[in-house]
Structure 1
Amino acid sequence: MTKNIIAIYGAATDTTTATLTWALALLVNHPVVLRQAQQELQSHVGRDRKVEDSDMNHLVYLQAIIKETMRLYPAAPLSVPHESTEDCIVGGYTIPRGTRLLVNIWKIHHDPQIWAAPFEFRPERFLTSNKEIDVKGRHFELIPFGSGRRICLGMSFALEAVQLILANIIHGFEFQNPSNDQIDMTESPGLVNHLATPLELLVAPRLLPYVYGDVV
């Protein structure tokens, strides 16, 4: 039981950390998007308090940013192994019963037949042409958590955690790349998709001092 708990905790924290890192790196590389997200937060939250769970439904642009982050950089680029329970044909290929299958989530998320400008960071796509698409396994063109009976058990918690943490981070602080170059978005190989190089940023508070308590 202890090993199972450690495995679940490790998987959840690793993937959530990876997604938050990708989101922050993308926002710093796209300051106009970051500023728009901060304006949304200021409009619905203000500068005199932190973001709360009850604010999430109003932060539609933030949710679009998270969807686009998960599309471009899914935390698990390959799904967990599945096994076909019967002979079937997929995309013209015969799949015998008992075949071990891995779904290439990264490839689906970057398919130019599905996504316009698939390698560009465009959160607005989830406010317009792809507005109805979510990440909960109901739309197969965007499945960062998988789909069906084997969908990630931690999906609901992960979404709430990523939304609340990212909202508070970009609401509470200004970020600047210490280099004049864009952040290197090279991906590292592995089961979890991490930024290949450490993310180093200059940080400054942007809210009223008392909001931070004893932290700042």
Structure 2
Amino acid sequence: MIDAVQVQFDTMHKLDMGLPTWKIYNTKPWKDFVRSSDYFVEVSMKYINEAMKRIETLPEDPDRELTVLEKILARDPDPKTGIVMALDMMTAGVDTTSYSTAVALYYIAKNQDKQQILFEEIVKHLPNKNGRITSDTLNELKYLKACIKESMRISPIAAGNIRQLVKDLVLGGYHVPKGVNILMPIIQLSNDEKYFPKPEKFIPERWIKDSPSSNMKTHAFATMPFGFGPRMCVGRRFAELEIETLLTKIIRNFKVEFNHDMKFESKLLYAPVSPLKFKMVDRQS
């Protein structure tokens, strides 16, 4: 499924940015997109059907925790609901979450002073390196959340966002009619000196209230890695939970270094394209 998602993203970029000849005849990118999409639905259906059978055959057990898929199917037995859930969570969450994690780890590795602050915070709330990470643990890791926000500010996975106006409005003194597409250059705003002093610097303290470097009074829309409003990323909480958990585990167990340059490329996503040559040094305690 992960391979299929990667093919989907690559081919969507080619279909969107190139000449739309695929609308006239079946080009190779279009065929690859259809093939990967069909395969994705096929695999989704396999596990959805298995989950439906488990729900029907399992004995009543009020103490058993249902999976997310089982909870959805228990409320709505129509498999289309499960397919949509799988499509949304996997398609939108595979590359985006992994790239965001890699970028956050890159900036933490390149800024050893910040990594030390983060490590000390994690040790305080997770003294045993093999201890269980709970929601209470993550709620206490304020500096970790600040590191993630700052990495998303510098290198957001979505460089821009487009929305079509549903009504006329006045924007910056200009009358913009209904139906016009508005492009919001997220990466340009989040790296603008006007909103973030020394924008090229990795300063997690910007997101810490009462810190001398705090940027908490900056316009809320100056950086929107997950979007905003009705079209905000539906998997935001899942993504944050995955990123926070993985980074906590890594930094608690390893000192991380990255002794190379990182190159980024903007396609459908703004993502790192250099090999992730992280150096992991075991922490003794």
Using the size of structure 1 for normalisation, the TM-score is 0.83
Give the 3 Å change call, closer, same or farther, for CA 173–132 of structure 1 in structure 2.
Answer: farther
The match for 1:114 among 178, 192, 195 is: 195
- Equivalent residues of 1:28, 1:175 under 8 A apart: yes
Number of corresponding residues: 199
User: Aligned pair 1:68/2:150, yes or no?
Assistant: yes
CA contact (8 A) 1:77 1:104 kept: yes
Counterpart for residue 213 of structure 1: none
2:242 alignment partner, SS class: helix
Mapped pair 1:206 → 2:276: no
Q: Which runs of 5+ in 2 are unaligned?
A: 1-40, 45-82
In structure 1, distance between residues paired with 2:250 and 2:135: 14
Name the structure 2 match of 1:211: none
Give the match for residue 175 of structure 1. Answer: 256
| Partner residue in 1 for 2:104 | 23
Corresponding residue of 2:268: 191
Measure how far apart 1:207 and its partner are: 5.3
SS of aligned partner of 1:17: helix
Q: Highest CA radius of gyration, 1 or 2?
A: 2
Q: Deviations over 1:77-105 (max 9, x none)?
A: 112x3211122221233322101223211
Residue-by-residue CA offset, 1:100-126 (whole Å, 9 max, x unaligned)? 223211112112211111121100111
CA offsets, 1:29-73, max 9 Å, x none? 111111111111111111343333320121111111011011111
The one of 63, 85, 94 aligned to 2:175: 94
1:83–1:100 CA contact under 8 A, matched in 2? yes
Residues in 2 aligned to 1:132 and 1:87: alpha-carbon distance in whole angstroms: 29
Which runs of no fewer than 5 residues in structure 1 stay unpaired? 209-216
- Alpha-carbon separation, structure 1, partners of 2:280 and 2:129: 19
Range that drifts further, 163-172 or 86-95: 86-95
| CA distance in 2 between partners of 1:26 and 1:159 (Å) | 17
> Which stretch shows the higher mean deviation, 7-16 or 153-162?
7-16
The corresponding residue for 1:57 is: 139
Matched, 1:157 2:242: no
Using structure 2 for the length normalisation, give the TM-score: 0.64
Runs of 4+, deviation exceeding 3 Å: 1-4
Identity %: 28
The letter of the residue matching 2:142 is: V
* Letter in structure 2 aligned against 1:188: E
Match for residue 215 of structure 2? 130
* Equivalent position amino acid for 1:139 in 2: A
Partner Cα distance (1:66, 1:99) in 2: 33
Higher helix share: 2
Superposed CA RMSD in Å reads 2.1
* 1:78 partnered with 2:160: yes
Counterpart CA distance in 1 for 2:166 and 2:257 is 51
SS in 1 for 2:281: strand
Contact kept in structure 2, 1:78 and 1:191, CA below 8 Å: no
Instruction: Write the deviation string for residues 134-190 of structure 1: whole angstroms up to 9, x where unpaired.
Output: xxxx9212211111111111111111111111111111222233x4xxx32332111
